[in-house]
């Protein structure tokens, strides 16, 4: 609602004093405002009402369609957040399931090249995010105070920009929901396996595909082709006094790919149909707890396992991968989603108390995110016990390299499972609001519309969890796809168009930003050849 004075009938004024009346001065100001509004459209600031026509904040009333005027209190500075809160909010928002795939991505690229790519990609992503952050402020004569980047795309590219940004935003959201379904199936399976093994005194056998000792590390795919990443694990049991048929029956009904993805439908499909997602928003703090616990878990495992590194620059050995590998685009695809926050950064930064510090705070937040990814990725890769295991055994979800019987990993999986169960309906709500709002103009057109959309989303998750439960590949494809438009192409084009309209576009800038577009395109195309 715009801050404009309205002439309201005295009988309907609502404030501390029920007898308060609209002053003659307010009526005059209202007439002046109407005069200016007839001169030009509200989007043009050239002939907008000057400051002396707009009343002070304490004199502004908002008119309700019900015929009631409510007094507007001035914006409360205490509602703004200091820089440290803003930085933490960005860090917390950006941290997600991608952190589980960072060690795998580093393994795919090679240890040295992986670290260099992580740093380089982080720098590119923070620069593109900086472009997005300032894009709305570069638009003249238009009130962009409540705009996000898709609105900027609509301004520059019309309906094409609006719909394409929506489509690519949907790719990132639905891709995240598919990854969540795969991970929830994984975590629920391993949690149930831990409880069953504990209750029935079933122990994991010491096989040739895992290490011995208190901190057991397993290699589910000892014969994995370096270019192919499978995800079906083999479990070896020894039974202590129980009927083996019970174990076989449990494995039949408690399967990571055949049954668990379908069990989740019973729980999550009804939650997706809730009209409001406010209840689930109360549990977002679990994401922070989960990430902090993961960092502690990684630190403890690295301390107990020690470092196992050998540097072979281009040749694969029996236990180690080379430092530079041609599979590095798989890491760039994962990192594009891991550093992705471009579609909501403008809104996050609006709550920053000192707007002059936005660029500094954004840079610090990206630095902390990059350091977190580096810490987890480097420690897991370095601590992975080679020998006796081959480094290429590191899984797209590094928790899969620890057995179900590991208590610390069991706690991590339980935390993450509960967190994802609460976040999944929130993601579904965002998909519904954006898609239904654009198509039908209503966030909840009917129960059957919402149910049909949710069935499609859940169906995609179930199919991927059953037939291709590789979160590394899902993350890299969805990251490279949404990143092409919302990270590289649109920000670079918006920046160049803005500079050209101001008459300050120079060829080095045009060359560099065109190079960014080519990088985004190459990042996506390379995913199909890995």
Tell me: the pLDDT tens digits for 267-297? 999 988 888 777 777 777 777 888 899 999 9
What CA–CA distance (Å, rounded) separates 361 from 364?
5
**How many Cβ atoms sit within 10 Å of the Cβ of residue 168?**
23
Asked whether residue 379 carries a pLDDT value surpassing 70, the answer given is yes
Query: Which range, 26-30, 78-82, 348-352, 510-514, has the best average confidence (pLDDT)?
Result: 510-514
Tell me: the pLDDT tens digits for 246-255? 667 888 888 8
Q: Which pLDDT belongs to residue 321?
A: 86
Q: Are 60 and 72 in contact (CB under 8 A)?
A: yes
Lowest mean pLDDT across 216-225, 254-263, 521-530: 216-225
Asked whether residue 225 carries a pLDDT value surpassing 60, the answer given is no
Q: Which pLDDT belongs to residue 226?
A: 41
The percent of residues in the chain predicted with pLDDT above 70, rounded, is 78
Could you tell me which residue, 5 or 527, shows the higher pLDDT?
527
Tell me: the pLDDT tens digits for 449-506? 999 999 999 999 999 999 999 999 999 999 999 999 999 999 999 999 999 998 899 9
- State CA 152 to chain mean position distance: 21
Could you tell me which residue, 316 or 23, shows the higher pLDDT?
316
For residue 93, what pLDDT band results from cuts at 50, 70 and 90?
Answer: confident
* Residue found by looking up tokens 């935390």 in the block: 415
Q: Which pLDDT belongs to residue 141?
A: 83
Q: Which pLDDT belongs to residue 36?
A: 56
What CA–CA distance (Å, rounded) separates 274 from 66?
28
Q: What are the strands of the beta sheet with 69-71, ordered from one edge?
A: 13-14, 69-71, 61-63
Q: Which pLDDT belongs to residue 320?
A: 83
| Long-range contacts of residues 90-93, Cβ cutoff 8 Å, at least 24 apart | 90/341, 90/345, 90/348, 90/361, 90/362, 90/365, 90/366, 90/369, 91/365, 91/368, 91/369, 91/372, 92/287, 92/288, 92/291, 93/341, 93/344, 93/348
Q: Where are the alpha helices (DSSP H) in 384-506?
A: 407-440, 447-467, 471-483, 490-502
**Architecture of the domain made up of 81-204+211-221+267-529:** Up-down Bundle (1.20)
| DSSP 8-state class, residue 215 | S
Lowest mean pLDDT across 60-74, 104-118, 318-332: 60-74
For residue 191, what pLDDT band results from cuts at 50, 70 and 90?
Answer: very high
Q: Are 339 and 416 in contact (CB under 8 A)?
A: no
How deeply is 430 buried, as exposed, middle or buried, from its count of CB atoms within 10 A (0-12, 13-18, 19+)?
A: middle
Q: Which two tokens stand for residue 109?
A: 């690229």
Mean of the pLDDT values across residues 400-405?
Answer: 88
What CA–CA distance (Å, rounded) separates 149 from 154?
9
Asked whether residue 181 carries a pLDDT value surpassing 70, the answer given is yes
Q: Which pLDDT belongs to residue 237?
A: 37
Tell me: the pLDDT tens digits for 197-219? 888 877 765 444 666 666 788 88
Tell me: the pLDDT tens digits for 26-47? 556 666 655 555 555 444 555 5
The SS3 assignment for 264 reads: helix
H or E element: which one contains 515?
Answer: helix 507-527
Report the Cα–Cα distance between both ends of the chain, in Å, rounded: 50
Asked whether residue 381 carries a pLDDT value surpassing 90, the answer given is yes
H or E element: which one contains 512?
Answer: helix 507-527
The SS3 assignment for 124 reads: helix
For residue 177, what pLDDT band results from cuts at 50, 70 and 90?
Answer: very high
Q: Which two tokens stand for residue 301?
A: 């495992």
Lowest mean pLDDT across 136-140, 241-245, 406-410: 241-245
Mean of the pLDDT values across residues 361-368?
Answer: 94
Tell me: the pLDDT tens digits for 309-336? 888 877 777 778 888 999 999 999 999 9
For residue 6, what pLDDT band results from cuts at 50, 70 and 90?
Answer: very low
What CA–CA distance (Å, rounded) separates 486 from 151?
12
Asked whether residue 76 carries a pLDDT value surpassing 60, the answer given is no
Q: Where are the alpha helices (DSSP H) in 40-148?
A: 83-94, 102-109, 111-135
Tell me: the pLDDT tens digits for 115-127? 999 999 999 999 9
Mean of the pLDDT values across residues 173-178?
Answer: 90
Q: Which pLDDT belongs to residue 29?
A: 62
- Average pLDDT of every residue of the chain: 80
* Residue found by looking up tokens 């991505």 in the block: 105
pTM (predicted TM-score): 0.78
For residue 264, what pLDDT band results from cuts at 50, 70 and 90?
Answer: very high
């Amino acid at each position: 609602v715009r801050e404009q004075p309205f002439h309201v009938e005295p009988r309907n004024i609502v404030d501390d004093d029920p007898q308060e009346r609209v002053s003659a001065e307010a009526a005059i100001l209202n007439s002046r405002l109407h005069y200016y509004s007839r001169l030009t459209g509200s989007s043009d600031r050239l002939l907008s009402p000057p400051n002396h026509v707009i009343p002070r904040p304490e004199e502004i009333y908002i008119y309700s369609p019900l015929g009631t005027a409510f007094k507007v209190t001035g914006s409360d500075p205490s509602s703004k957040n200091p820089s440290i809160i803003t930085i933490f909010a960005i860090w917390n928002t950006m941290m997600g399931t991608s952190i589980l795939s960072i060690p795998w991505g580093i393994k795919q690229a090679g240890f040295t090249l992986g670290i260099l790519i992580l740093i380089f990609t982080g720098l590119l992503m923070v620069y593109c995010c900086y472009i997005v952050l300032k894009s709305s402020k570069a638009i003249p004569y238009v009130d962009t105070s409540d705009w996000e980047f898709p609105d900027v795309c609509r301004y520059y590219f019309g309906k094409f920009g609006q719909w394409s940004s929506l489509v690519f935003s949907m790719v990132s959201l639905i891709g995240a929901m598919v990854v969540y379904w795969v991970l929830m199936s994984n975590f629920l399976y391993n949690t149930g396996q831990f409880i069953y093994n504990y209750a029935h005194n079933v122990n994991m056998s010491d096989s040739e595909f895992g290490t011995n000792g208190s901190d057991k590390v397993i290699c589910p795919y000892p014969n994995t082709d370096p270019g192919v990443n499978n995800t079906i694990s083999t479990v070896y049991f020894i039974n202590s006094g129980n009927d083996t048929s019970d174990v076989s029956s449990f494995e039949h009904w408690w399967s990571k790919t055949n049954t668990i993805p379908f069990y989740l439908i019973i729980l999550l499909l009804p939650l997706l149909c809730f009209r409001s997602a406010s209840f689930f928003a109360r549990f977002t703090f679990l994401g922070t707890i989960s990430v902090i616990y993961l960092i502690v878990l990684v630190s403890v495992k690295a301390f107990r396992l020690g470092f196992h590194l050998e540097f072979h620059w281009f040749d694969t050995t029996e236990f180690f991968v080379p430092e530079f590998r041609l599979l590095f685009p798989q890491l760039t695809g994962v990192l594009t989603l891991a550093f992705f926050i471009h579609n909501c950064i403008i809104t996050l930064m609006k709550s920053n108390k000192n707007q002059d510090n936005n660029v500094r705070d954004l840079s610090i937040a990206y630095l902390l995110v990059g350091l977190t990814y580096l810490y987890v990725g480097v420690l897991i890769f370095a601590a992975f016990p080679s020998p006796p295991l081959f480094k290429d055994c590191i899984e797209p979800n590094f928790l899969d390299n620890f057995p179900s019987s590991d208590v610390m990993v069991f706690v991590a999986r339980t935390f993450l499972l509960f967190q994802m169960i609460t976040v999944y309906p929130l993601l579904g709500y965002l998909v519904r609001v954006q898609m239904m709002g654009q198509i039908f103009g209503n966030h909840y057109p009917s129960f059957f519309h919402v149910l049909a959309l949710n069935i499609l989303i859940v169906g995609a998750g179930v199919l991927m969890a059953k037939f291709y439960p590789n979160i590394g590949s899902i993350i890299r494809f969805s990251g490279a796809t949404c990143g092409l438009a919302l990270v590289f192409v649109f920000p670079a084009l918006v920046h160049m168009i803005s500079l050209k309209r101001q008459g300050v576009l120079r060829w080095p800038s045009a060359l560099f930003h065109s190079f960014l577009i080519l990088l985004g395109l190459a990042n996506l195309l390379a995913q199909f050849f890995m």
